[in-house]
Structure 1
Amino acid sequence: MSLFLEVVPVERAVEVVRSIAPEIGTERVDLTAALHRVLGSEVRAPHDLPGFDRSVVDGYAVVASDTTGASEALPAMLTLRGRVEMGQAPPGTVEPGACWYIPTGGVLPPGADAVAMIEYSEAVGDEVLVGRAVAPGENVLSHDEDYAADTVILSTGRRITPQDMGVLASAGVTSVDVVRRPRIGIISTGNEVVPAETAPAPGQVRDANTYLCSGFAQEHGCDTQTYGIVRDDPALLRPVLERAVSECDCVLISGGSSKDVRDMTAGVIGELGEVLVHGIAVAPGKPTIIGRVRTTPVIGLPGHPASAYIVLFAVVRHLIATINGAETPFRLARMPLAANIPSAKGREDYVRVAVVDRAAHPVFGKSGLLNTLVRSDGFVVVPAGREGLETGEETEVILW
């Protein structure tokens, strides 16, 4: 088997991961636990909302035709019959020539079809002078104006926000079906990799990718399961990967994907399942592997954390979104480049930038440097068809 299969464009890699995303089903959760979860089925209004005609201002419930032609100079004079109390049904009806005081949110009494704002009305004893005409329905929220019974409140695939939770609660919906949180297995490989709490000897590096991948997966609505560090030995990786595949919806393996004689990840994936992609036209991150073992996607990430993160964003993000049934939003900003960014035509380049004085300053560094991840505020993408971006060019910055 060749060390690299045919290198594919990023767009093709995304198509592949979307095509192998497994369906993981839904679960019922309490509304208080639904924040940022993805709806697994649509939610319909169980009844009309708000359920009664109500005032949206403080004022007087009136028959609109009684105020026709009313003005400050010649107000309409109405008889005050009583007061609507909050949270209670009106004690009577509004007859022509009469009105009832009503607070914001109060139930509109039968017979009334509008509310005259208190700012344009004046109570004088048992009489109310209305200084501005109102039209039927003015300052009134109809009983089904928010949602009519059985209309869709939220659609399948929506990521639930705090606002959504409030609306659902107002409809009496206190639990929802959501997509089960995907479980992402994470394996680090490499003879040189040691646990993060270990003092590395010369030539060794601490395991950063387990934490990087865990944070990324959690940020995108997933649970994680870590499987530790595996040395560069196919016989050691094989059982760990078999276990991870049986327990997770997707597995990420960092390291072991580079084009050298120690490359083992593609071989093990191929033995247990199939390798679909080995090499993506992206920098950094070219030696990425996309495979599948039974129905579980397995992604081989570059060992360097900066490269691994770019692949997580450029490719794995789309896999997780397909499993979830919803994209995870990210922040974008348009600004000019402060310096040229060279690029090789035919590959997609992801270049870290720092935002200074409303301009994107490229953060260049030698391969292997970690500080560029924290010195930068995000990155720009140089399309595969370009040979770079020029100083002053307006570009889209994807912010961390």
Structure 2
Amino acid sequence: MMKRTKYLKITDIEKALDLWYEKIDIFADKYISSENIRVKDAYFKTLSKPVYSKRNIPPFSTSAFDGIAVRAQSTYSAREVSPIILELERDFLYINTGDKLLGQFNAVIMIENVEEIDNNHVRIRKGISIGDNVRTIGEDIHKGDVVFYNGEYLTPEHISLLIAAGIRNIDVKRKLKLVFIPTGDEITNDINEKSKILESNSSIVEGYILKWGGEIDIHDCIKDNENNIKRVIEKSLEKYDAIIVGAGSSHGSKDYTSSILNDIGELIVHGTNIRPGKPVILGSVKEKLFIGLPGYPYACDINLKIFIGEIFKRIYNYRENNIIYARLINKVSSKIGEKHYYNTNIIYNKGEFLAYPVKTGSSNLYNGINSTGYFIIDTRDEGMEEGEEVIVFTDKTSYEIKKNLLFVGSNDPLIGELGNKLFEKHRIKMFISNKGSMGGIYAMQKSKCHISGMHLFDPLSETYNISFIKKYLGGKGILLHLANRSQGIIVKKGNPLNIRSIKDIKMKKARYINRQNGAGTRLMFDYLLQESDIKVSDINGYDNVVSKHIDAGYMVKEGFADATIAIKLIADMLDLDFIPIFIENYDLYFSNNFKRDDRFYKIIDILKEDGFGENIIIGGYDTRSIGEIIYEG
């Protein structure tokens, strides 16, 4: 009687995948190298290093609409009942969408709000603010920003953005090379052989491997002879990354695949609890991947997509279409008669998927690429309310989405670097929403995010952040220290107005660019004004705001403002002058529940790595206590 192979053990599919992921990771670390190629040759490849932008996008401030470019200050007095008249070239220039803003002009009035009097004069009935209807320099991406993380799968949209960011060559992961070895006395490659079954499973295997971006060779059919099959497998290991054996994976008397694998490598799975497709074999030889697929076509197809498909998803971040039902975090608006495609990120918090809408616009490709997906607002609706359920079209799986993190709070370049490392090491995508320190606290109050960043000064205790946690978050939560940062006044190179203090901003009527309500920098500026006995109405431009330090710096660099308060790093990056004013604490806040999440400890490990952030920090940072828990309540 011929010997029959028994299943080693029927393994639960989830357990089988976990074991398989371990083997994939070991293989990838050892064998998958990088290659440097032209960006235009990188369609559907996967980055092996993060990519940093070499240019601002847009590279200069441009008009967002057709209209007239003006000095915002000259429009402030315009009213419906008392319009003002502007003169061509002296007060305004005609401008088209995408045109660069020139010289003295710092805002755009849309053409539909302009009344033409004659060839040289127009009438306006409403004033505007600095930056209105303008796409500011670096609005999508700033020079030096992480464009894409290590491990990003590159679609045509990614390639377009890389080219716009000034990238010409990138490092990508080399292709996976596989071989399919069909076995069995009953199959043949000879179309004229009438007494046997034509081998056709190779067509399924080849088609999907090519679709997923791999290279595949198909071996001739091998009869059921253990020594011959073993010899072909051992020879193939010299050339290929992964061996796929067709048939021979069950427990028949001529099913040799499991015994061969036990002999030359490590068998980790022989049979799972899926149907059809139970008799699958998984393992490795010399840390190269080994898969035994069932001979029946549909069972072969199912296991191919599950286990070999996971190789490409795990190593190359390959994507397929999916839909997720999620609840809106924020209200969104639309117009009746328009079908609105809204970009959104999705996170998983307290047992449900939450959709966090992001800025959507014709010019903003970056947000579209980096969002989880999109939902659609129908032509009959004026928008959707917070809490409504939406159907999100995405190429992410629910497993991936459950790993996502949402950061809401104050802006800092180290947050972007943390996001890069989380994705590179753990495939955790961290979305970043710069809403200011208080914006982060409000999001935490409503469980709308996982992490918040803050630098809130309390004049009474002369401490940072803790008193705000006690006041707004019931004293509960964890503060993790990130850095001490130097903040001060940023002015143009050479300091043409000779600004040395907060009082000089008032006395010299400097055009100031502020930060949004709730930003830690704005709250500190308000405190400094109060200490100097200066009214906010005395500051020229107090109500002109941006949301990030880098945007404030560029407003000075581009001549839209004379001064701002921001971190020293921005002055160093943009070659601007810096007058130091204060040193502040910047900390990360987490809920107590998050301490039970393994992502919390992954974050701490990354922050404490030697050299974390060295590639982006130039000056003005003290990170000696980075990653230390400084408060727990």
TM-score w.r.t. the length of structure 1 is 0.75
Deviations 1:284-331 (A, max 9, x none): 11111112111111100000110011111222222232232x143244
CA distance in 1, matches of 2:324, 2:102: 51
Q: How does 1:102-113 map to 2 (within 5 A)?
A: 102-113=95-106
Structure 1 counterpart of 2:85: 77
Q: CA deviation at 1:332?
A: 5.5
Summarize the Cα distance change of 1:191–1:243 in structure 2 as closer, same or farther, 3 Å threshold.
same
Equivalent AA in structure 2 for residue 152 of structure 1: V
Corresponding residue for residue 176 of structure 2? 182
In 2: Cα distance, 1:2 partner to 1:186 partner: 22
After TM superposition, list the pairs within 5 Å mapping 1:4-15 onto structure 2.
Answer: 4-15=7-18
Alpha-carbon separation, structure 1, partners of 2:296 and 2:140: 52
Q: How many residues align?
A: 316
- How much does 1:125 deviate? 2.6
Which amino acid in 2 is paired with 1:238?
K
Alpha-carbon distance, 1:72 to partner: 5.3
Residue 39 of structure 1 contacts residue 176 of structure 1 at CA under 8 Å; is this kept in 2? yes
Cross-structure match for 2:163: 169
In 2, are the aligned partners of 1:54 and 1:105 still within 8 Å (CA)? Answer: yes
Q: What's the CA shift string for 1:346-379, capped at 9, x where partnerless? A: xxxxxxxxxxxxxxxxxxxxxxxxxxxxxxxxxx
1:147-158 → structure 2 map (5 Å cutoff): 147-158=141-152
> 2: CA distance between counterparts of 1:131 and 1:164?
43
Once the 2 structures are TM-superposed, how far is the Cα of residue 73 of structure 1 from its aligned partner?
5.0
Q: Return the letter of the residue paired with 2:208.
A: F
Q: Which amino acid aligns with 1:29?
A: I
Distance in 1 (alpha carbons) for counterparts of 2:244 and 2:40: 31
Q: Does structure 1 retain, via aligned residues, the 8 Å contact 2:283–2:289?
A: yes
Whole-angstrom CA distance in 2 between matches of 1:13 and 1:187: 23
- Structure 1 Cα separation of the partners of residues 20 and 210 of structure 2: 19
CA distance in 2, matches of 1:137, 1:333: 37
d(CA) in 1 for partners of 2:259 and 2:43?
A: 40
Deviation of the 1:169 alpha carbon: 0.9
Aligned partner of 2:233 in structure 1 is: 241
Q: How does 1:94-243 map to 2 (within 5 A)?
A: 98-123=91-116, 124-195=118-189, 198-202=191-195, 204-243=196-235
Identify the residue that residue 382 of structure 1 maps to in structure 2.
none
Q: Distance in 1 between matches of 2:177 and 2:285?
A: 15
Q: CA deviation at 1:70?
A: 2.8
Aligned counterparts of 1:333 and 1:106: Cα–Cα separation in 2: 39
Q: Distance in 2 between matches of 1:328 and 1:109?
A: 43
Residue aligning to 1:286: 278
Is the Cα contact below 8 Å between 1:244 and 1:251 reproduced in 2? yes
The one-character-per-residue Cα deviations of 1:194-231 (angstroms, maximum 9, x if unpaired) are 11x613423x2111111111111122221112222111
- Tell whether the 8 Å contact from 1:10 to 1:314 is kept in structure 2 after alignment: no
Answer 1 or 2: which has greater helix percent: 2
SS of 1:100's equivalent in the other structure is strand
Contact 1:45–1:153 (CA under 8 A) maintained in structure 2: yes
User: Separation in 1 of the partners of 2:103 and 2:315?
Assistant: 51
Worse-matched range after superposition: 290-299 or 127-136? 127-136
Offset of residue 153 of structure 1: 0.9
Deviation per residue, 1:1-52 (Å, 9 max, x gap): 9521011011111112211111212212222221111111111111322221
RMSD: 1.9
Inter-partner Cα distance in structure 1 for 2:41 and 2:209:
19
Q: Map of 1:40-79 to 2, 5 A cutoff?
A: 40-71=48-79, 73-79=81-87
Tell me, in whole angstroms, the C-alpha distance in 1 between the residues paired with 2:275 and 2:193: 28
Call closer, same or farther: CA 1:322–1:111 in 2, change over 3 Å: same
The C-alpha deviation readout for 1:129-183, integer Å capped at 9, x for no partner, is: 2233322111111112121121111111111111111111111212221111111
Q: Distance in 1 between matches of 2:315 and 2:289?
A: 11
In the superposition, relative to structure 1, how do residues 119 and 173 fare at CA in structure 2: closer, same or farther (>3 Å)? same
Percent of counterpart pairs with the same letter?
A: 27
Please identify runs of 4+ aligned residues in structure 1 that moved more than 3 A: 71-74, 330-334
Partner of 2:47: 39
Given candidates 310, 313, 328, the residue that maps to 2:319 is 328
Q: Secondary structure at the match of 2:217?
A: strand
Equivalent pair of 1:17/1:297 in contact (CA under 8 Å): no
**For the residues of structure 2 that align with 1:283 and 1:104, how far apart are their CA atoms?**
58
What secondary structure does 2:141 align onto? Answer: coil
Q: TM-score, normalised by structure 2?
A: 0.48
Whether the 8 Å contact between 2:5 and 2:253 is mirrored in structure 1 is: no
Partner of 1:256: 248
CA contact (8 A) 1:182 1:323 kept: no
Which stretch shows the higher mean deviation, 211-220 or 300-309?
Answer: 211-220
